[in-house]
Chain A
Amino acid sequence: MEGELTILDGISLDIAAGAQVAVVGESGSGKTTLLGILAGLDLPTSGDVWLDSTRITALGEEERARARARSVGFVFQTFQLIDSLTALENVMLPLELRGDKRAKEDAREFLSRVGLSARTTHYPRQLSGGEQQRVAIARAFASRPKILFADEPTGNLDTRTGAKVADLLFELNREAGTTLALVTHDALLAERCGATITLEAGRMRSDIEQELAS
């Protein structure tokens, strides 16, 4: 038996509505796991998570999914577009799931906001990495989420493209007043957020410092 592996331990944090928080740390420090738990994709073995004043740790999978549909948007390092759908259809997807009648119009509008109105009928594999991530950003904002979770959004892009994508992300975020939780190990990107949480081996740096101080 290998015994249980503790990935996150003693994490306690508040992210205020409209705040922009970066989660940084080395590979394996638990950033991604933390993001998954905050967004309700996964459940912690102990502890609670409140998302938009809902205690999502008390919810079943069905309700958590609904909570996500209501108030959460995602941008992933690997874009996570669906290969078999066009750019437009990918953006429409969250709107369609909500039963939004204006899915197509809204999606078109967001695609033009990210500068891709000419590529609506293209499939992901016909788009460059930067373009794919812009589609993903359009998809994330199209459902007008209250909270946006971004997992290394520029991690798969070269520096210049990454910077452009980051600009777009922060611009749309500012316009919509969305709460942003961003996981990255890019120090420059982290600096653009108002606050930074540093993880080390599953614990928050500030906590560790406190422990050392006391």
Chain B
Amino acid sequence: MTPALVLRFALRDWRAGELRLLLVALLLAVGTVSAISLFVDRLQRALEAESANFLGADRVISSSREIPERFRELARQRDLTLADLITFPSMVSPAAEDSPRNQLASVKAVTPGYPLRGTLRIAEAPFGDGRITASVPARGEVWLESRLFPALGVRIGERVSVGYAEFTVGAVLIAEPDRGGSFAEFAPRLLMRTEDVPATRVIQPGSRIDYRLLLAGDDDRLADLQEAIKEELAPNYRWRSIRDANASIGRALERGESFLLLGGLLAVLLAGVAVALGANRYARRHFDHVAVLKTLGATPAEVQWGYVGVLLVIGVAGALLGLLLGIVVHLGIIAVLGSFLPVTLPLPGPRPIFVGLVTGFICLLAFALPPLLGLRKISPMRVIRRDLATSAVPVVTYGFASAGSLGLLVWYSGSFFLTLWALLGAVVAGGVFATLALLLLRGGRVLGMQAGSTWRLALAGLQRRYRENVAQIMIFGLAIMLLLIMLLVRTALIDEWRAQIPEHTPNHFVMNVAPEEADAVQALLTEQADYDGELFAMIRGRIAAVNDVPAAQWHKRRRGPGRPGPGIRSERNLTFAEELPDNNVVVGGEWWPPEGTEEPSVSLEDEYAAALGLAVGDTVSFDIGGLPLTATVANTRRVEWDSLQPNFFIIFSPGALDGYPATYMTSFFLPSARKPFLNELLSRYPTVTVIELDAIILQVRSIIDRVTSAVELVLYLVLVAGVLVLIASIQSSRDQRLKEHALLRALGGTRRRIAGALVSEFAVLGVFAGIVAVVGAEITVYALNRQVFELSAGLHPWLWAAGPALGMVVIAAVGYLATRKLVSSPPIAVLREV
């Protein structure tokens, strides 16, 4: 067959409507996949860019040593933007000589250009909202964080000294992008220029200094730079990206991406099923066509290549149109979501386009080709013997489809685990479902014997064509299952994210409250802020001995020399508590009774205890400002460090710390409108330290919100693909069903009864498919949540009612709509057409 002839055949088939379902399925496969990947690609780029704000850069090299000039040179050669940053603690005092006030500050010295990502906000008065600025302090100028103003008693324009140098206070520093989510930097910020650092003479050998080189630019070039200096980085320089820098954001991003991929992956599967169904129907409708062609002298090879050619034509058309559709849909999504999305999305890379096209062709090869390949085997004798058995779909077809999906999934997701679990779900589903579907059909038939005539007709029909119906239940079940999986995982993810930072999460910490001020501060907080907690005592102390073995010796014996780990002798914050704090769970031993214990007891954080080799029952001696205290380990706790509550490694039983020098701390929620209250608090209690986390919490929340809306959007796209599968599946079984029902009508069945029987049949199929889907979804979601998303997993009882109900309503409705027209046309027309 010449290409021109193939094209002509394809056009004729198209005109006759034979190829429409196939093309639409393909169009949607390519369209959905490219829309999802275009959107995800752009969103990922945007999210990465936004997350980069947390670093103030795309990548950061940090070290306690000066950053070698060579790194800068190599970065400049790669057209990367850079800025330098030095952080160190230093005392700051007002320049007026008689001032007694001084305050430890965390000094950050920067070069112009800082920050490379995100923005600085400054204000003219402490605790204001501030405005964005593109500049950094001028030489000889410093910007102070709000709380330094009451602490030092200075105003803008006045002078402060840092080490041996004096500076003018230029502005109030309200927010810096890379403030960091940890509590490592308790001290308030002072921002200055790196050029001014030498004059302070603060940097001495042995000072605690953090040098950073901020880098921004093209991903490939950054990776190239990392590769170039890889050898020189270890062990003194750390290369960091946002994923390393902030664990909770990194995790949210990763899970979000996994979910989007899962969505894309399921969309591919669903679209593939739709393509397979479309191709199957096309092939089946062409059995006679092929037999005639063969009697007219078409050879099997010609038949085969002819149909492969038609498929190719459809493939090219479907892929190109699908791509167009994908672009339009993703633009539509962006238009609809405009207000939720970052201001401008970066342009997509070439990958989504490629993904869309390759998906289209693999769908064709794996799902559409096999049924068409079977056509060459159609016997020409079929033209004179209609009853001649047509060869069943060969087993190799399923092999093709499985191999195709597997390849597509692994390639598309790039995640072996995700693919494995999704596929495992499908395989388990396949085996269990076929049996389940068969049993359901059998059971249904028995029940149907007692039912009214419409139902009897429907159930008998189902049982009669049980082979086809088992297949159809599995397809419906698969579609519903994939949708349920998406829904469940999405719900679990979003709940988890929301739970991570609930509304009214404490966004300020107050520390260093003197014991005699504690009650007054607590009263003030209760009155002015959203606060109903209690103050925690905070006492600095270190472990001196374990079971009478000196700590250093204990540690060496346990770890061997030179092994990294938390230092046993580092100073820690100690506290006491009557009740187990929120967000803590006892994992070993038991929490003490509220009245405390006779002998001092201590509760240790689980991982901390494990790292130091401490267990329940051990005796630990502490050194608290030179005073000894010995306590028995009563229990170990798991602590949720992300909770933004005061958390402690070491908690004593009530009374154990009485008489030791303590300060108090707590966290509270303060809405931004009431921020000026901090001024009052700090003026009244100048020694108190306030740590503001509100800006960081806002940032984290905005990222999570965006990931959430992306996740929901992908869910909708998968839903569309799912409905398409349902329609394709109903279409593909339409001919057979209609023929039967047309015969019934010819025999005198009323239109009403036939429609009733059809709807009942689809409804029963829907219920069975729903049951099958729920079983599969529960298994898969359990595995996915445990293995991929690391979420807690459990069964969903509501699903067991909702799944079958959903299946019944949706499939009955779609089934009825898809067959309605033909039920209402005269039986003779139906008999002729099919």
Contacts and interface: CB of A to CB of B under 8 A. Distances in A.
Contacts of A68: 294-297
A35 B299 CA distance: 19
Nearest to B297: A69
A151 B383 CA distance: 10
A76 B289 contact: no
Contacts of B293: 93, 97
A151 B299 CA distance: 22
Interface residues of A, number: 36
B2 interface: yes
A124 to B, nearest CB: 10
A36 B384 CA distance: 8
Contacts of A36: 381, 384-385
B333 to A, nearest CB: 37
Query: Residue among A41, A74, A77 with the most chain B CB within 10 A?
Result: A41
A82 B289 contact: yes
A133 B8 CA distance: 24
Interface range on chain B (Cβ under 8 Å from partner)? 20 to 34
A89 B296 CA distance: 13
A66 B1 CA distance: 13
B734 to A, nearest CB: 16
A105 to B, nearest CB: 16
A84 interface: yes
B820 interface: no
A167 interface: no
Interface in A98-117: 98-99
A23 to B, nearest CB: 13
A96 B12 CA distance: 14
B821 interface: no
A35 B300 contact: no
Contacts of B8: 96
B469 interface: no
Nearest to A84: B16
Nearest to B291: A80
Interface string A30-55: 00100110010110000000000000
Given A83-B16, A84-B13, A89-B12, A94 B383 contact: no
A151 B384 contact: yes
A77 B16 CA distance: 24
B288 A80 contact: yes
A85 B298 CA distance: 17
A32 B296 contact: no
B297 A98 contact: yes
A99 B297 contact: no
A119 interface: no
A185 to B, nearest CB: 14
Contacts of B12: 84-85, 89
A158 interface: no
Interface string A177-199: 00000000000000000000000
A74 B292 CA distance: 10
B380 interface: yes
A2 B287 CA distance: 28
B563 interface: no
A61 B298 CA distance: 10
B7 to A, nearest CB: 12
6 contacts: A35-B384, A41-B295, A78-B386, A80-B292, A82-B289, A93-B296
Interface of B: 1-2, 5, 8, 12-13, 15-16, 18, 288-289, 291-302, 379-381, 383-386, 832-833
Among all A-B residue pairs, the 7 with the closest Cβ atoms = A69-B297, A84-B16, A65-B299, A68-B297, A41-B380, A94-B296, A62-B299
Given A65-B300, A80-B292, 7 more contacts: A41-B384, A65-B302, A66-B299, A68-B295, A82-B289, A84-B15, A96-B8
